[in-house]
């Protein structure tokens, strides 16, 4: 990019300070949490944009895209930059569009649908929704920082997925407004099943400018930690509660020892050599789950009925991919995988993995509901990184024994395990970003020269 491009963009946005070129700012806003992966850490270390623009309205984004299309400048969209796979890291310089300033919640409809700008933070949506009797159906453990546009662009599910499934299930995303990357960028609305063309596409086939998100009825969540002498008994108890339909819950997580030893701020709830189960359960269900934990041989290490405002630790800060963060703080040679175990043979799969990799493969399970209403032991095992071959050996072996892996050590949508086999994200790329200027390099199977590919 030239200095003319920079001043043109500032003129288009009508504000000098809407275009950032300070190297430190550009560096910061070009990066996400890609360094979770020792593989991506090396691959993406030197990648950054040439400028960052901060539009404040959908029309301003449109004007930026029109200009960038005309000049052939690559554009990478950023929400809050909490993605894990370098999703928001520009591979080819150009412009990062930072949508954090576009963070308005436009309305919470009485039927339980939040209508938001893309930069709206999930915590803000949760707080606004709760005021009128609703709450998020599912959210990542980064919900304090993460934006709704980034969650749709790069996330998959999280806290709440035990009840509502992943973000792409149960019509949780009801509608998307998308801006295309063409000579004359268009706003297009997607509803119902159409949204799957855009979800988890890493901003490669359009920029999400508005979201309609279905909510769930608000509940008062109690927190509970139960400790067990063995991983087996912890898993069995968690599985029982996860499958117990009458018990409303938002979180059922299992950690085998020594994972809890990484949770420095809450060591008082993490008895030595015990495997732990973390729960968020509906407040009225708490006494019953405590009683059942006792019968199952567990020890309640922490129990907190719902309080507003909440006091003390927030258990979700240790779950989902926050678990990996705590592990990395303790032992930098650790990393993670994203796995789906088979609910019918998970114990056998655990045993085989232990036999093959010993404690280089530690179990962290997050129970979720799948799109067929089945409770699945998914999880983000903590694994020791020796080299890439060893990591790939773990991934291959998981797949060989029927454990699905969404590989978090690749930087392309296709490799991450959420690419649709019916190719609709790719087809949308050909339709809405025909020159491949949006987040270039992140859809490996896209080729702007292939004029027939859009039909495939
Ligand atoms: C500690 C930790 C824990 C995490 N836990 C979870 C978890 O529980 N569940 C989960 O799913 N993920 C998790 N993640 C990943 C990440 O936090 C979530 O996916 C989050 O929702 C991303 O939001 P963001 O605003 O930071 O997006 P960004 O990182 O800014 O962007 C993510 C992707 O979406 C694209 N994008 C951003 N905005 C738009 C837009 N408006 N239109 C089109 N594309 C866009 C970006 O280009 C990028 O490809 C975790 C990450 C960390 C570091």
Quote the mean pLDDT of the chain.
Answer: 95
Span 66-90, mean pLDDT? 96
Q: Given ligand 1 and candidates 76, 150, 152, 316, which is best to mutate, with the most ligand atoms within 8 Å of its CB?
A: 150
416 pLDDT above the threshold of 80 = no
The answer to whether residue 309 is domain-embedded is yes
State the residue range of the domain holding 246. 221-405
pLDDT at 453: 57
418 pLDDT above the threshold of 70 = no
Distance in Å, CA 81 to ligand 1 centroid: 6
pLDDT grade, residue 417 (50/70/90)? low
pLDDT at 318: 98
Question: How many structural domains compose the chain?
Answer: 1
The answer to whether residue 8 is domain-embedded is no
Span 183-199, mean pLDDT? 96
Look at residues 294, 161, 273, 165 and name the one whose alpha carbon lies nearest to residue 224: 294
First to last CA, the chain: 34
The answer to whether residue 62 is domain-embedded is no
Span 69-82, mean pLDDT? 97
C-alpha 204/C-alpha 443 separation (Å) is: 7
pLDDT digits (tens, 9 = 90+) for 147-173: 999 999 999 999 999 999 999 999 999
Distance in Å, CA 363 to ligand 1 centroid: 24
pLDDT at 450: 72
421 pLDDT above the threshold of 90 = no
CATH number for position 294: 3.40.462.40
240 against 454, higher pLDDT: 240
Distances from the Cα of 436 to the Cα of 69, 236, 444, 448, angstroms: 10, 48, 11, 6
The answer to whether residue 294 is domain-embedded is yes
456 pLDDT above the threshold of 60 = no
User: What residues flank ligand 1, with Cβ below 6 Å?
Assistant: 32-33, 76-84, 87-88, 99, 118, 140-142, 146-147, 149-151, 153-158, 202-203, 207-208, 320-322, 325, 439
451 against 396, higher pLDDT: 396
The answer to whether residue 281 is domain-embedded is yes
452 pLDDT above the threshold of 80 = no
pLDDT at 451: 58
454 pLDDT above the threshold of 60 = no
Other Cβ atoms within 10 Å of 431 Cβ, number: 15
pLDDT grade, residue 310 (50/70/90)? confident
The answer to whether residue 251 is domain-embedded is yes
Gyration radius of the chain over CA positions: 22
The answer to whether residue 167 is domain-embedded is no
424 pLDDT above the threshold of 90 = no
Residues paired with residue 359 on neighbouring β-strands, in sequence order: none
pLDDT at 312: 82
pLDDT at 374: 96
C-alpha 194/C-alpha 57 separation (Å) is: 24
C-alpha 371/C-alpha 33 separation (Å) is: 28
The answer to whether residue 388 is domain-embedded is yes
pLDDT digits (tens, 9 = 90+) for 333-377: 999 999 999 999 999 999 999 999 999 999 999 999 998 999 999
């Amino acid at each position: 990019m030239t200095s003319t491009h920079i001043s043109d963009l500032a003129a288009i946005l009508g504000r000098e300070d809407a275009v950032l070129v300070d190297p430190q700012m550009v560096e910061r806003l070009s990066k996400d949490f890609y360094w979770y992966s020792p593989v991506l850490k090396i691959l993406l270390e030197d990648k950054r944009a040439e400028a960052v623009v901060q539009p404040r309205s959908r029309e301003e984004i449109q004007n930026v895209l029109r200009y960038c299309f005309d000049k052939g400048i690559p554009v990478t969209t950023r929400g809050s930059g909490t993605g894990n796979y370098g999703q928001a890291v520009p591979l080819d310089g150009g412009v990062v569009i930072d949508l954090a300033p576009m963070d308005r919640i436009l309305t919470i409809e009485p039927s339980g649908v939040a209508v938001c700008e893309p930069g709206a933070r999930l915590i803000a949506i949760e707080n606004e929704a709760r005021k009128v009797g609703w709450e998020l159906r599912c959210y990542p453990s980064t919900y304090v920082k993460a934006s709704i546009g980034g969650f749709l662009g790069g996330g998959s599910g999280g806290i709440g997925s035990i009840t509502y499934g992943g973000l792409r299930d149960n019509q949780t995303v009801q509608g998307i407004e998308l801006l295309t990357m063409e000579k004359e960028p268009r706003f297009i609305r997607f509803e119902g099943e159409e949204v799957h063309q855009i979800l988890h596409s890493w901003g490669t086939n359009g920029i999400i400018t508005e979201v309609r998100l279905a909510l769930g009825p608000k509940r008062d969540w109690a927190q509970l930690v139960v400790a067990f002498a063995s991983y087996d008994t912890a898993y069995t108890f968690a599985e029982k509660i996860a499958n117990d339909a009458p018990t409303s819950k938002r979180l059922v997580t299992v950690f085998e020892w020594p994972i809890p030893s990484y949770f420095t701020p809450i060591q008082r709830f993490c008895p030595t050599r015990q495997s732990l189960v973390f729960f968020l359960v509906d407040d009225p269900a708490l006494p019953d789950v405590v009683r059942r934990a006792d019968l199952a041989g567990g020890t309640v290490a922490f129990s907190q009925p719902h309080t507003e405002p909440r006091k003390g630790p927030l258990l979700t800060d240790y779950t989902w991919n926050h678990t990996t963060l705590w592990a990395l703080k303790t032992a930098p040679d650790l990393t993670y995988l994203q796995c789906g175990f088979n609910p019918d043979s998970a114990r056998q799969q655990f045993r085989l993995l232990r036999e093959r990799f010993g404690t280089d493969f530690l179990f962290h399970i997050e129970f979720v509901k799948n799109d067929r209403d089945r409770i699945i032991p998914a999880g983000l095992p903590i694994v020791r990184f020796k080299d890439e071959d060893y990591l790939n050996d773990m991934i291959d072996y998981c797949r060989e024994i029927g454990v699905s892996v969404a590989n978090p050590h690749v930087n392309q949508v296709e490799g991450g395990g959420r690419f649709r086999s019916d190719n609709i994200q790719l087809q949308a790329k050909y339709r809405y970003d025909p020159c491949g200027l949006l987040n270039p390099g992140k859809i490996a199977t896209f080729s702007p020269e292939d004029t027939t590919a859009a039909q495939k």
